[in-house]
Structure 1
Amino acid sequence: MSEFQIRKDNYHTNRVVATDLSESDIAAGEVLVKIDKFAFTANNITYAVVGDQFGYWQFFPPTGKDVKEWGILPVWGFADVVASNAENVAVGERLFGYFPPATYLKMTPTAVSEYRWIDGAEHRAPLPSGYNAYRRVLAEPNYNKAMDDYRMLLFPLHITSYCLYDNLQDRNWFGAEQVVVISASSKTSIGLGYALSDDINAPSTIGMTSQRNLGMVTDLDIYDSTVTYDNLTSIDPSIPTVIVDMSGNGEVLGRLHKHLGANMKFCSNVGFTHWEDGGMGPDFIQQRSEMFFAPAHIQKRIKDWGPEVFEQKTTAFMQSTIQRSASWLKLTQLHGLNGLADVYQDVCDGKVDPEAGLIIKM
């Protein structure tokens, strides 16, 4: 049994640590799950960048000796119950949700219903509830195991895409007539691009990307136009603009804010695909910028619409985006935590092709 840990003060440094968790360790009301597979994307690096700010380090405390400076990045994936001392949760049950990159996890099922339950582990109680919910996929009427890879890869990203779109629409696009999506090749950006292109009432869209990824972004045909970071001044500064930034690249944001000036109506800061380029600089307009936290928007919409309506809307969106993404996604299966370690530096450095979907099979 083992888990993948990284240094909280230096995300590049990682290690695979052996653990002594066993089936005999589970107490009354607990289950042990064996993690089957999980996806790994730049989004997981974002969890590290904002780990202290949003509590991501708290979900799965590392085990072993000398762990004070180490943490575990959460991942989205599937796991199977291999031992159970909990009522109404049987061995063999399959779960989709938030897991550590590890071989096993001890959990405490609470609020058990037909389709899901909540991990009621004490240390997780203060954390966003959406991350503590686990889908009982074998109970889903249309569950198809062949779609697991797409689901775990795109669900956590495209649920954010949907929330971003819904937030922009709900706030009347902040008065903007064009939307600039920075790091347009990221999977979350593409999900947002699908939503915007499907809405005939949405403002025009500009996808901003690197020269390396320009061809891929253009071929998607979801943005009205594309620009590279090098020629962002080709964007018309006379048009009121809203920015959705997935990059966290302070240098690019500073240049774009300065270029747009008063017509930079709002900047939604979402991800950190270029997390090493942080530090927003003097031209960044803080007063009209805001960090977007998808779990908060999810809770708002569940309160507004009720959980069933929210589920219907997001499920329909996901089904559509997964179907369209399957045409360009190139799934790459890696084996075990050592397979993750082999590719981890490339993810940190942004060297993984945007078409790649990294799947870690345990």
Structure 2
Amino acid sequence: MEALSRANGAFALDLYRALSKESPDASLIISPLSISTALAMVYMGARTCTHTEMGKVMRFDQVPEVHSHLHTLMGKITTPSSSHVLNLANRLFGEKNFGFSPEFLAGIQKNYLAELQAMDFLQATEEARQTINQWVKEKTENKIEELLKAGVLSKMTRLVLVNAVYFKGSWMHRFKKEQTQEMPFKISRLETRPVQMMCQTKKLPYGWVPDLEIQVLELPYTQKELSMFILLPPEGKTLIELENKLTIENLLDWTHPANLDDGSDVVLHLPRFKLETSLSLGDTLSGLGMGSLFDEATADLSGMSANGGLFISTLAHSAVCDVTEEGTEAAAATAAIASFCMFREEHFNADHPFFFLIMHNPTRSILFLGRYSGPQ
């Protein structure tokens, strides 16, 4: 399980860095675990070069029995809880004229509780798009209404891979709405924009990374099964230096309970914010080394179907994250920690761009990952 969580985390950070470089100044939110799980269904049907590329990029080649381990991990993460709601759903939408392998369909049903839905992309492209969007809308509690934009699908579409995730959690320590006030958020050295800044002083797990001068703060949700972690660089420094240092080893080390002091009062200022990201990940994943999957000429998905020409034409991902006084609603990586400061009060003022993630603490799995660069 640990090997799988690390593999998923390493892939998550590779994907995040690639997307960050494409839009270096924009806020971003993705659900890497959902993407990994959805791609794993394709990995089950990939062969030869496509299987090799996917295994290398996603680190699946380092995890024995990856599909059964993912099945177990999904079971642990989506176990019903009184503290939060977490729904994760994946589906493959395939052209009905392709005869998909019964062994493949049985495999994704067993390991991912997922189905392949036959679609008529050739004669009913727009109807297919509406069907897929409606499925996503239902799975995300109406938070994501149009995953696939008009024109994304065509008569050449053969297979669409869709992932949907919905999360809603309540803070263990809720903010008081009457303490929220408008304050300036420093977009850059020369620009500020107003945000609604939530404020509280609580004993919260807090750490410090001396090499990068990064503050680390854990905001647990009720029952502490899930937490949001915020990594805040010093004012005046960009997120780029932090992002370049992010490895899964660093991230797990910086956020480990043993490296966070929970005895100090933390004076916290955190923006109330909502992020929405809609992405087509084909080009990004190709750039990471998964190119054959999206290339009709070279893709080998013969484990899905004996028919030739099958490839992933669209990989769409959309995520929404809403952080408020009550908690978070979301739909959609080696420096040592320094000794703790002897002062019993720390100031954590997130009034400039920061990196954040939402983690399932028992498995150390990253559910959401992103950055807040200020109001757009």
Sort the TM-score into its range (normalised by shorter chain): under 0.3
Structure-1-length-normalised TM-score:
0.26
Greater strand proportion: 2
Normalized against structure 2, the TM-score is what? 0.25
More helix as a share of residues: 1
